[in-house]
Copies of this chain bind each other. A is one copy, B any other.
Amino acid sequence: MFEKVLIANRGEIALRVARACRELGIKSVAVYSTADAESAVVRFADEAVQIGPPAAGRSYLHIPSIIGAAQKTGADAIHPGYGFLSEDPYFAEICTNEGITFIGPKPDVMEKVADKATARDLMSKAGLPLLPGTVDPVNTVDEARDIADEIGLPVIIKAVAGGGGRGMTVVWNREELASQYRSTRATAQAVFKDSAVYVERYLQAPYHTEVQLVCDEHGGGVYFGERDCSVQRRHQKLIEEAPSVHLTPEMRTDIGEKAVNGALSIGYTGAGTMEFLLDQDGNLAFMEMNARIQVEHPVSEMITDCDLIQEQIRVAAGEQLSVTQDAVELKGHALECRINAEDPDNNFAPTAGRLETYVPPGGPWTRVDSHCYPGWTVSPFYDSLIAKLIVWAPDRERAINRMQRALSEFEISGRGVKTTIPFHQRILANAQFRSGDVTTDFVEQFMAEEKQLAAATG
Protein backbone atom coordinates (compact mmCIF):
# COMPACT_ATOMS: atom_id res chain seq x y z
CA MET A 1 0.00 0.00 0.00
CA PHE A 2 1.10 3.61 -0.50
CA GLU A 3 2.98 5.48 2.22
CA LYS A 4 1.88 8.96 1.20
CA VAL A 5 -0.65 10.20 -1.35
CA LEU A 6 -0.66 13.72 -2.80
CA ILE A 7 -4.12 15.02 -3.67
CA ALA A 8 -3.97 17.12 -6.84
CA ASN A 9 -7.31 18.78 -6.32
CA ARG A 10 -9.29 21.07 -4.02
CA GLY A 11 -12.73 21.46 -2.44
CA GLU A 12 -14.88 18.60 -1.23
CA ILE A 13 -13.22 15.87 -3.30
CA ALA A 14 -9.77 16.71 -1.94
CA LEU A 15 -11.15 16.33 1.58
CA ARG A 16 -13.00 13.12 0.60
CA VAL A 17 -9.73 11.59 -0.65
CA ALA A 18 -7.78 12.79 2.41
CA ARG A 19 -10.40 11.16 4.67
CA ALA A 20 -10.05 7.88 2.79
CA CYS A 21 -6.25 8.07 3.10
CA ARG A 22 -6.44 8.62 6.86
CA GLU A 23 -8.84 5.69 7.25
CA LEU A 24 -6.42 3.52 5.27
CA GLY A 25 -3.44 4.64 7.37
CA ILE A 26 -1.89 6.54 4.44
CA LYS A 27 -0.34 9.99 4.91
CA SER A 28 -1.94 12.69 2.78
CA VAL A 29 -0.48 15.79 1.13
CA ALA A 30 -2.73 18.70 0.15
CA VAL A 31 -1.68 21.15 -2.55
CA TYR A 32 -3.31 24.55 -2.60
CA SER A 33 -3.41 27.87 -4.40
CA THR A 34 -3.11 31.09 -2.39
CA ALA A 35 -6.92 31.32 -2.55
CA ASP A 36 -7.23 28.00 -0.70
CA ALA A 37 -4.58 28.57 1.99
CA GLU A 38 -7.21 28.16 4.73
CA SER A 39 -9.17 25.34 3.11
CA ALA A 40 -10.46 22.38 5.09
CA VAL A 41 -8.17 19.89 3.35
CA VAL A 42 -5.12 22.03 4.12
CA ARG A 43 -6.14 21.89 7.77
CA PHE A 44 -6.91 18.18 7.67
CA ALA A 45 -4.12 16.70 5.54
CA ASP A 46 -0.83 15.59 7.09
CA GLU A 47 1.13 18.02 4.91
CA ALA A 48 0.27 20.90 2.59
CA VAL A 49 2.21 22.65 -0.19
CA GLN A 50 1.33 26.03 -1.69
CA ILE A 51 1.65 25.52 -5.43
CA GLY A 52 0.53 28.75 -7.07
CA PRO A 53 -1.85 31.68 -7.44
CA PRO A 54 -5.65 31.32 -7.60
CA ALA A 55 -5.72 30.88 -11.38
CA ALA A 56 -5.93 27.09 -11.89
CA GLY A 57 -3.63 27.25 -14.91
CA ARG A 58 -0.80 28.26 -12.62
CA SER A 59 -1.77 26.01 -9.68
CA TYR A 60 -4.11 23.00 -9.88
CA LEU A 61 -3.47 22.55 -13.60
CA HIS A 62 0.25 23.38 -13.44
CA ILE A 63 1.91 19.99 -13.80
CA PRO A 64 5.49 20.99 -12.84
CA SER A 65 4.29 22.52 -9.56
CA ILE A 66 2.24 19.44 -8.66
CA ILE A 67 5.05 17.03 -9.54
CA GLY A 68 7.40 19.29 -7.61
CA ALA A 69 5.13 19.22 -4.57
CA ALA A 70 5.02 15.42 -4.77
CA GLN A 71 8.81 15.23 -4.92
CA LYS A 72 9.22 17.82 -2.16
CA THR A 73 7.03 15.74 0.17
CA GLY A 74 8.11 12.32 -1.05
CA ALA A 75 4.60 11.24 -2.06
CA ASP A 76 4.55 7.90 -3.85
CA ALA A 77 1.14 8.40 -5.47
CA ILE A 78 -1.10 11.21 -6.74
CA HIS A 79 -4.90 11.18 -6.60
CA PRO A 80 -6.28 13.61 -9.21
CA GLY A 81 -9.88 13.70 -7.92
CA TYR A 82 -12.28 14.79 -10.70
CA GLY A 83 -11.85 17.67 -13.14
CA PHE A 84 -8.47 19.47 -13.31
CA LEU A 85 -5.85 16.88 -14.35
CA SER A 86 -7.94 13.77 -13.64
CA GLU A 87 -8.44 12.82 -17.30
CA ASP A 88 -5.13 14.07 -18.71
CA PRO A 89 -3.13 11.14 -20.12
CA TYR A 90 -0.08 13.39 -20.46
CA PHE A 91 -0.12 14.11 -16.72
CA ALA A 92 -0.57 10.41 -15.93
CA GLU A 93 2.43 9.65 -18.14
CA ILE A 94 4.61 12.25 -16.42
CA CYS A 95 3.69 10.80 -13.03
CA THR A 96 4.77 7.38 -14.25
CA ASN A 97 8.02 8.78 -15.65
CA GLU A 98 8.75 10.50 -12.36
CA GLY A 99 8.17 7.23 -10.51
CA ILE A 100 4.90 8.39 -8.93
CA THR A 101 1.77 6.23 -9.17
CA PHE A 102 -1.11 8.03 -10.87
CA ILE A 103 -4.32 6.85 -9.20
CA GLY A 104 -6.31 6.12 -12.33
CA PRO A 105 -6.14 4.10 -15.53
CA LYS A 106 -2.96 3.70 -17.57
CA PRO A 107 -2.25 6.65 -19.90
CA ASP A 108 -2.87 4.74 -23.13
CA VAL A 109 -6.23 3.52 -21.81
CA MET A 110 -7.15 7.07 -20.78
CA GLU A 111 -6.44 8.20 -24.33
CA LYS A 112 -8.66 5.52 -25.86
CA VAL A 113 -11.49 6.42 -23.50
CA ALA A 114 -11.06 10.15 -24.02
CA ASP A 115 -11.63 9.84 -27.78
CA LYS A 116 -15.41 9.37 -28.13
CA ALA A 117 -15.25 7.66 -31.51
CA THR A 118 -12.59 5.20 -30.37
CA ALA A 119 -14.46 4.52 -27.12
CA ARG A 120 -17.75 3.89 -28.96
CA ASP A 121 -15.96 1.62 -31.40
CA LEU A 122 -14.20 -0.41 -28.70
CA MET A 123 -17.28 -0.69 -26.52
CA SER A 124 -19.53 -1.78 -29.37
CA LYS A 125 -16.94 -4.45 -30.24
CA ALA A 126 -17.06 -5.47 -26.56
CA GLY A 127 -20.80 -6.00 -26.88
CA LEU A 128 -22.19 -2.79 -25.42
CA PRO A 129 -25.33 -1.46 -27.11
CA LEU A 130 -25.03 1.76 -29.11
CA LEU A 131 -27.67 4.06 -30.55
CA PRO A 132 -28.51 3.34 -34.19
CA GLY A 133 -26.01 5.34 -36.24
CA THR A 134 -22.33 5.40 -37.05
CA VAL A 135 -19.29 4.64 -34.99
CA ASP A 136 -16.81 6.00 -37.52
CA PRO A 137 -16.76 9.65 -38.58
CA VAL A 138 -19.19 10.60 -41.36
CA ASN A 139 -17.20 12.32 -44.08
CA THR A 140 -19.80 13.43 -46.65
CA VAL A 141 -23.28 14.90 -46.73
CA ASP A 142 -24.52 11.98 -48.82
CA GLU A 143 -23.22 9.51 -46.25
CA ALA A 144 -24.96 11.49 -43.52
CA ARG A 145 -28.21 11.52 -45.54
CA ASP A 146 -28.06 7.76 -46.17
CA ILE A 147 -27.62 7.12 -42.44
CA ALA A 148 -30.50 9.44 -41.57
CA ASP A 149 -32.72 7.62 -44.09
CA GLU A 150 -31.68 4.30 -42.61
CA ILE A 151 -32.21 5.06 -38.91
CA GLY A 152 -34.92 7.66 -39.34
CA LEU A 153 -35.27 11.22 -38.10
CA PRO A 154 -34.62 12.94 -35.77
CA VAL A 155 -30.89 12.32 -35.78
CA ILE A 156 -28.10 14.14 -33.95
CA ILE A 157 -24.81 15.18 -35.53
CA LYS A 158 -22.05 15.12 -32.91
CA ALA A 159 -18.46 16.33 -33.02
CA VAL A 160 -16.14 13.40 -32.31
CA ALA A 161 -14.08 15.67 -30.09
CA GLY A 162 -17.11 17.31 -28.52
CA GLY A 163 -18.48 17.05 -25.01
CA GLY A 164 -20.49 18.80 -22.33
CA GLY A 165 -23.29 19.43 -24.77
CA ARG A 166 -21.19 21.45 -27.21
CA GLY A 167 -20.72 20.56 -30.90
CA MET A 168 -24.09 18.86 -31.30
CA THR A 169 -26.92 19.55 -33.76
CA VAL A 170 -30.31 17.82 -33.84
CA VAL A 171 -31.75 17.35 -37.33
CA TRP A 172 -35.54 17.24 -37.44
CA ASN A 173 -36.19 17.32 -41.20
CA ARG A 174 -34.34 15.99 -44.21
CA GLU A 175 -34.09 19.32 -46.00
CA GLU A 176 -31.96 20.91 -43.28
CA LEU A 177 -29.61 17.96 -42.93
CA ALA A 178 -27.02 19.14 -45.46
CA SER A 179 -26.69 22.65 -44.03
CA GLN A 180 -26.64 21.42 -40.44
CA TYR A 181 -24.04 18.78 -41.29
CA ARG A 182 -21.75 21.49 -42.69
CA SER A 183 -22.34 23.95 -39.86
CA THR A 184 -21.65 21.30 -37.20
CA ARG A 185 -18.37 20.38 -38.94
CA ALA A 186 -17.43 24.04 -39.07
CA THR A 187 -18.23 24.53 -35.37
CA ALA A 188 -16.31 21.36 -34.48
CA GLN A 189 -13.29 22.59 -36.42
CA ALA A 190 -13.49 26.00 -34.79
CA VAL A 191 -14.12 24.85 -31.23
CA PHE A 192 -12.31 21.52 -31.02
CA LYS A 193 -9.79 21.86 -33.88
CA ASP A 194 -11.28 18.67 -35.33
CA SER A 195 -14.08 18.70 -37.88
CA ALA A 196 -14.87 14.98 -37.57
CA VAL A 197 -18.53 14.29 -36.75
CA TYR A 198 -20.75 11.23 -36.47
CA VAL A 199 -24.47 10.72 -36.79
CA GLU A 200 -26.81 8.77 -34.53
CA ARG A 201 -30.46 8.58 -33.58
CA TYR A 202 -31.58 11.45 -31.37
CA LEU A 203 -33.48 10.53 -28.22
CA GLN A 204 -35.71 13.40 -27.19
CA ALA A 205 -36.42 12.47 -23.60
CA PRO A 206 -34.11 9.70 -22.36
CA TYR A 207 -33.02 8.83 -18.87
CA HIS A 208 -29.36 9.44 -18.02
CA THR A 209 -28.17 6.13 -16.57
CA GLU A 210 -24.56 5.41 -15.62
CA VAL A 211 -22.86 2.29 -14.32
CA GLN A 212 -20.16 2.60 -11.65
CA LEU A 213 -17.32 0.11 -11.87
CA VAL A 214 -13.85 -0.54 -10.47
CA CYS A 215 -11.26 -2.81 -12.07
CA ASP A 216 -8.01 -4.05 -10.53
CA GLU A 217 -4.76 -5.02 -12.23
CA HIS A 218 -5.45 -8.72 -11.76
CA GLY A 219 -8.30 -8.92 -14.25
CA GLY A 220 -10.88 -8.36 -11.56
CA GLY A 221 -13.82 -6.04 -12.24
CA VAL A 222 -16.91 -5.22 -10.19
CA TYR A 223 -19.91 -3.01 -10.98
CA PHE A 224 -21.62 -1.18 -8.12
CA GLY A 225 -25.05 -0.79 -9.64
CA GLU A 226 -26.14 2.24 -11.62
CA ARG A 227 -27.05 5.85 -10.98
CA ASP A 228 -29.80 7.92 -12.54
CA CYS A 229 -28.67 11.50 -13.23
CA SER A 230 -31.56 12.74 -15.34
CA VAL A 231 -32.11 15.85 -13.22
CA GLN A 232 -29.69 18.13 -15.02
CA ARG A 233 -29.69 21.70 -16.26
CA ARG A 234 -27.71 22.37 -19.41
CA HIS A 235 -25.84 19.05 -18.94
CA GLN A 236 -24.98 20.01 -15.33
CA LYS A 237 -26.22 17.35 -12.93
CA LEU A 238 -28.24 18.71 -10.01
CA ILE A 239 -29.69 15.60 -8.32
CA GLU A 240 -28.41 12.05 -8.64
CA GLU A 241 -29.89 8.87 -7.29
CA ALA A 242 -29.23 5.17 -7.04
CA PRO A 243 -30.54 2.77 -8.07
CA SER A 244 -32.43 3.79 -11.22
CA VAL A 245 -36.13 3.01 -10.79
CA HIS A 246 -36.29 2.28 -14.53
CA LEU A 247 -34.11 -0.84 -14.56
CA THR A 248 -35.30 -4.34 -13.75
CA PRO A 249 -32.87 -6.59 -11.85
CA GLU A 250 -32.27 -8.44 -15.12
CA MET A 251 -31.44 -5.24 -17.02
CA ARG A 252 -29.19 -4.20 -14.12
CA THR A 253 -27.19 -7.42 -14.18
CA ASP A 254 -27.00 -7.46 -17.96
CA ILE A 255 -25.71 -3.88 -18.39
CA GLY A 256 -23.45 -4.19 -15.36
CA GLU A 257 -21.74 -7.27 -16.71
CA LYS A 258 -21.44 -5.73 -20.17
CA ALA A 259 -19.92 -2.56 -18.70
CA VAL A 260 -17.31 -4.52 -16.71
CA ASN A 261 -16.47 -6.70 -19.71
CA GLY A 262 -16.12 -3.61 -21.85
CA ALA A 263 -13.77 -2.01 -19.36
CA LEU A 264 -11.68 -5.16 -18.93
CA SER A 265 -11.53 -5.60 -22.73
CA ILE A 266 -9.48 -2.40 -23.02
CA GLY A 267 -7.33 -3.08 -19.96
CA TYR A 268 -9.13 -0.52 -17.85
CA THR A 269 -7.98 -0.24 -14.22
CA GLY A 270 -9.30 1.89 -11.39
CA ALA A 271 -12.70 3.49 -10.86
CA GLY A 272 -14.73 4.48 -13.89
CA THR A 273 -18.25 5.18 -15.10
CA MET A 274 -20.03 4.11 -18.27
CA GLU A 275 -22.73 6.57 -19.31
CA PHE A 276 -25.83 5.31 -21.09
CA LEU A 277 -29.04 6.78 -22.39
CA LEU A 278 -32.16 4.79 -21.52
CA ASP A 279 -35.20 5.26 -23.76
CA GLN A 280 -38.85 4.77 -22.83
CA ASP A 281 -38.78 1.24 -24.25
CA GLY A 282 -36.00 0.14 -21.89
CA ASN A 283 -33.20 0.27 -24.46
CA LEU A 284 -29.81 1.29 -23.09
CA ALA A 285 -27.26 2.89 -25.39
CA PHE A 286 -23.61 3.51 -24.48
CA MET A 287 -22.62 7.19 -24.73
CA GLU A 288 -19.16 7.56 -23.20
CA MET A 289 -16.91 6.43 -20.39
CA ASN A 290 -15.54 8.68 -17.64
CA ALA A 291 -12.08 7.52 -16.57
CA ARG A 292 -12.21 8.99 -13.05
CA ILE A 293 -14.17 9.01 -9.84
CA GLN A 294 -17.29 11.15 -10.21
CA VAL A 295 -18.93 13.82 -8.09
CA GLU A 296 -21.96 11.61 -7.53
CA HIS A 297 -20.08 8.47 -6.39
CA PRO A 298 -21.53 8.68 -2.84
CA VAL A 299 -25.02 7.54 -3.87
CA SER A 300 -23.49 4.28 -5.12
CA GLU A 301 -21.53 3.98 -1.87
CA MET A 302 -24.70 4.38 0.17
CA ILE A 303 -26.63 1.58 -1.57
CA THR A 304 -23.68 -0.86 -1.75
CA ASP A 305 -21.85 -0.08 1.55
CA CYS A 306 -18.59 -0.06 -0.44
CA ASP A 307 -16.06 2.77 -0.14
CA LEU A 308 -15.25 3.54 -3.78
CA ILE A 309 -12.36 5.90 -3.03
CA GLN A 310 -10.70 3.30 -0.83
CA GLU A 311 -11.20 0.67 -3.57
CA GLN A 312 -9.74 3.09 -6.11
CA ILE A 313 -6.64 3.62 -3.97
CA ARG A 314 -6.31 -0.11 -3.24
CA VAL A 315 -6.35 -1.19 -6.87
CA ALA A 316 -3.98 1.63 -7.83
CA ALA A 317 -1.56 0.18 -5.30
CA GLY A 318 -1.75 -3.11 -7.14
CA GLU A 319 -4.01 -4.85 -4.67
CA GLN A 320 -7.05 -6.88 -5.62
CA LEU A 321 -10.57 -5.50 -5.24
CA SER A 322 -11.65 -6.03 -1.62
CA VAL A 323 -15.13 -7.12 -2.77
CA THR A 324 -16.43 -9.66 -5.23
CA GLN A 325 -19.45 -9.07 -7.46
CA ASP A 326 -21.56 -11.46 -5.40
CA ALA A 327 -20.78 -9.48 -2.24
CA VAL A 328 -22.18 -6.27 -3.75
CA GLU A 329 -25.85 -6.20 -2.78
CA LEU A 330 -27.96 -3.15 -3.53
CA LYS A 331 -30.16 -2.02 -0.66
CA GLY A 332 -32.57 0.86 -0.35
CA HIS A 333 -32.33 4.14 -2.21
CA ALA A 334 -29.89 7.05 -2.07
CA LEU A 335 -30.21 10.64 -3.27
CA GLU A 336 -27.62 13.38 -3.69
CA CYS A 337 -28.33 17.09 -4.02
CA ARG A 338 -25.49 19.25 -5.29
CA ILE A 339 -25.53 22.43 -3.24
CA ASN A 340 -23.95 25.08 -5.45
CA ALA A 341 -23.14 28.69 -4.59
CA GLU A 342 -25.38 29.87 -7.40
CA ASP A 343 -28.46 32.08 -7.58
CA PRO A 344 -31.35 30.01 -8.98
CA ASP A 345 -33.39 33.20 -9.37
CA ASN A 346 -30.67 34.80 -11.47
CA ASN A 347 -30.04 32.16 -14.10
CA PHE A 348 -27.83 30.18 -11.69
CA ALA A 349 -25.15 32.87 -11.72
CA PRO A 350 -22.26 31.82 -9.46
CA THR A 351 -22.02 33.74 -6.18
CA ALA A 352 -19.01 34.12 -3.91
CA GLY A 353 -18.35 35.40 -0.43
CA ARG A 354 -17.59 34.58 3.16
CA LEU A 355 -19.91 32.05 4.82
CA GLU A 356 -21.04 33.83 7.98
CA THR A 357 -23.28 30.86 8.79
CA TYR A 358 -22.64 27.25 7.83
CA VAL A 359 -24.63 24.64 9.76
CA PRO A 360 -24.81 21.32 7.92
CA PRO A 361 -27.66 18.89 8.59
CA GLY A 362 -27.03 15.78 10.68
CA GLY A 363 -28.86 12.78 12.04
CA PRO A 364 -29.68 9.37 10.64
CA TRP A 365 -28.56 8.33 7.16
CA THR A 366 -27.58 11.90 6.36
CA ARG A 367 -24.16 12.46 4.80
CA VAL A 368 -22.52 15.76 3.95
CA ASP A 369 -19.42 15.84 1.78
CA SER A 370 -18.18 19.40 1.93
CA HIS A 371 -15.07 21.48 2.48
CA CYS A 372 -17.03 24.38 3.94
CA TYR A 373 -17.02 25.64 7.52
CA PRO A 374 -18.16 28.85 9.19
CA GLY A 375 -15.89 31.62 7.97
CA TRP A 376 -14.80 29.84 4.80
CA THR A 377 -14.77 32.11 1.77
CA VAL A 378 -16.40 30.71 -1.36
CA SER A 379 -13.95 31.76 -4.05
CA PRO A 380 -14.97 33.04 -7.48
CA PHE A 381 -11.97 31.26 -9.02
CA TYR A 382 -13.36 27.71 -8.95
CA ASP A 383 -16.54 25.74 -9.57
CA SER A 384 -19.48 26.61 -7.37
CA LEU A 385 -20.03 23.24 -5.66
CA ILE A 386 -19.98 23.90 -1.93
CA ALA A 387 -21.59 20.75 -0.54
CA LYS A 388 -23.00 17.40 -1.53
CA LEU A 389 -25.94 16.34 0.61
CA ILE A 390 -26.54 12.61 0.45
CA VAL A 391 -29.28 10.65 2.19
CA TRP A 392 -30.24 7.00 2.31
CA ALA A 393 -33.59 5.36 3.08
CA PRO A 394 -35.24 1.98 2.52
CA ASP A 395 -37.10 3.31 -0.52
CA ARG A 396 -37.17 6.30 -2.86
CA GLU A 397 -40.15 8.03 -1.26
CA ARG A 398 -38.63 7.92 2.21
CA ALA A 399 -35.29 9.05 0.77
CA ILE A 400 -37.03 12.10 -0.70
CA ASN A 401 -38.73 12.83 2.62
CA ARG A 402 -35.40 12.51 4.41
CA MET A 403 -33.70 14.80 1.87
CA GLN A 404 -36.41 17.40 2.42
CA ARG A 405 -35.87 17.13 6.18
CA ALA A 406 -32.11 17.50 5.77
CA LEU A 407 -32.39 20.46 3.38
CA SER A 408 -34.76 22.15 5.82
CA GLU A 409 -32.02 22.26 8.48
CA PHE A 410 -29.10 23.21 6.19
CA GLU A 411 -28.12 26.80 7.06
CA ILE A 412 -25.76 28.58 4.68
CA SER A 413 -25.56 32.36 4.60
CA GLY A 414 -23.10 35.12 3.90
CA ARG A 415 -23.11 38.51 2.23
CA GLY A 416 -23.67 37.93 -1.47
CA VAL A 417 -23.91 34.15 -1.13
CA LYS A 418 -26.91 32.39 -2.68
CA THR A 419 -27.31 28.62 -2.90
CA THR A 420 -29.35 26.12 -4.92
CA ILE A 421 -31.04 24.77 -1.76
CA PRO A 422 -34.40 26.47 -2.47
CA PHE A 423 -34.35 25.14 -6.04
CA HIS A 424 -33.73 21.59 -4.77
CA GLN A 425 -36.59 21.98 -2.32
CA ARG A 426 -38.96 22.98 -5.11
CA ILE A 427 -37.90 20.03 -7.26
CA LEU A 428 -38.27 17.56 -4.38
CA ALA A 429 -41.80 18.82 -3.82
CA ASN A 430 -42.68 18.41 -7.51
CA ALA A 431 -45.21 15.65 -8.20
CA GLN A 432 -43.52 14.46 -11.38
CA PHE A 433 -40.12 14.24 -9.68
CA ARG A 434 -41.67 12.26 -6.85
CA SER A 435 -43.29 9.93 -9.36
CA GLY A 436 -39.81 9.01 -10.61
CA ASP A 437 -40.74 9.68 -14.22
CA VAL A 438 -37.93 12.16 -14.79
CA THR A 439 -36.09 12.43 -18.11
CA THR A 440 -33.17 14.68 -19.03
CA ASP A 441 -35.56 17.42 -20.19
CA PHE A 442 -37.32 17.56 -16.82
CA VAL A 443 -35.53 20.57 -15.34
CA GLU A 444 -36.10 22.64 -18.47
CA GLN A 445 -39.84 21.89 -18.38
CA PHE A 446 -39.95 22.38 -14.60
CA MET A 447 -38.40 25.84 -14.91
CA ALA A 448 -40.71 26.76 -17.78
CA GLU A 449 -43.73 25.77 -15.69
CA GLU A 450 -42.45 27.78 -12.74
CA LYS A 451 -42.04 30.82 -14.99
CA GLN A 452 -45.60 30.45 -16.31
CA LEU A 453 -46.94 30.05 -12.79
CA ALA A 454 -45.06 33.14 -11.62
CA ALA A 455 -46.38 35.10 -14.59
CA ALA A 456 -49.93 33.88 -13.94
CA THR A 457 -49.91 34.59 -10.20
CA GLY A 458 -47.63 37.64 -10.30
Contact of A374 among B332, B359, B364 (CB under 8 A): B359
CB closest chain-B residue, reference A327? B394
Stretch of A17-25, A216-224, A313-321, A378-386 at the chain-chain interface: A17-25
A392-412 vs B, Cβ < 8 Å mask (1 yes, 0 no): 001000100110110011010
Q: Which chain A residues (363-397) contact chain B, with CB distance < 8 Å?
A: 363-370, 373-374, 394
Question: Are B364 and A367 interface neighbours, CB within 8 A?
Answer: yes
CB closest chain-B residue, reference A376? B359
- Nearest CB in chain B: distance from A381 CB, A: 23
Question: Are B369 and A19 interface neighbours, CB within 8 A?
Answer: no
A364 and B25 contact, Cβ closer than 8 Å, known pairs A359-B374, A373-B359, A394-B305:
no
Question: Are B363 and A362 interface neighbours, CB within 8 A?
Answer: no
On chain B, the residues within 8 Å of A398 by CB distance are 23
On chain B, the residues within 8 Å of A332 by CB distance are 305
On chain B, the residues within 8 Å of A16 by CB distance are 363-364
CB closest chain-B residue, reference A25? B401
CB closest chain-B residue, reference A308? B364
How many angstroms from the CA of A331 to the CA of B307 in the assembled complex?
A: 15
On chain B, the residues within 8 Å of A357 by CB distance are 374
Contact of A23 among B22, B359, B369, B401 (CB under 8 A): B401
A246-283 vs B, Cβ < 8 Å mask (1 yes, 0 no): 00000000000000000000000000000000000000
Question: Are B364 and A368 interface neighbours, CB within 8 A?
Answer: no
A22 and B331 contact, Cβ closer than 8 Å, known pairs A360-B360, A367-B364, A369-B363:
no
A364 and B401 contact, Cβ closer than 8 Å, known pairs A44-B409, A359-B374, A374-B359:
no
CB closest chain-B residue, reference A15? B363
User: With an 8 A cutoff between CB atoms, is A298 at the interface?
Assistant: yes
How many angstroms from the CA of A332 to the CA of B329 in the assembled complex?
A: 13
User: With an 8 A cutoff between CB atoms, is A301 at the interface?
Assistant: yes
Instruction: Provide a sorted-by-A list of 6 A–B residue pairs whose CB atoms are within 8 angstroms.
Output: A24-B401, A305-B331, A359-B373, A360-B362, A362-B368, A362-B370
CB closest chain-B residue, reference A390? B364
- Nearest CB in chain B: distance from A397 CB, A: 11
- Nearest CB in chain B: distance from A271 CB, A: 14
Question: Are A367 and B360 interface neighbours, CB within 8 A?
Answer: no
On chain B, the residues within 8 Å of A362 by CB distance are 360, 367-370
Question: Are B402 and A23 interface neighbours, CB within 8 A?
Answer: yes
On chain B, the residues within 8 Å of A409 by CB distance are 19, 44
On chain B, the residues within 8 Å of A24 by CB distance are 401
Q: Which chain A residues (10-45) contact chain B, with CB distance < 8 Å?
A: 15-16, 19-20, 22-25, 44
A307 and B364 contact, Cβ closer than 8 Å, known pairs A359-B374, A374-B359, A374-B374:
yes
Question: Are B305 and A19 interface neighbours, CB within 8 A?
Answer: no
Question: Are B405 and A364 interface neighbours, CB within 8 A?
Answer: no
- Nearest CB in chain B: distance from A423 CB, A: 20
CB closest chain-B residue, reference A371? B362
Question: Are B305 and A363 interface neighbours, CB within 8 A?
Answer: no
A173-206 vs B, Cβ < 8 Å mask (1 yes, 0 no): 0000000000000000000000000000000000
Known: A23-B398, A23-B402. 15 other contacts (CB 8 A): A15-B363, A16-B363, A20-B364, A22-B401, A24-B401, A301-B364, A305-B394, A307-B365, A309-B364, A357-B374, A360-B360, A362-B368, A363-B367, A364-B369, A374-B374
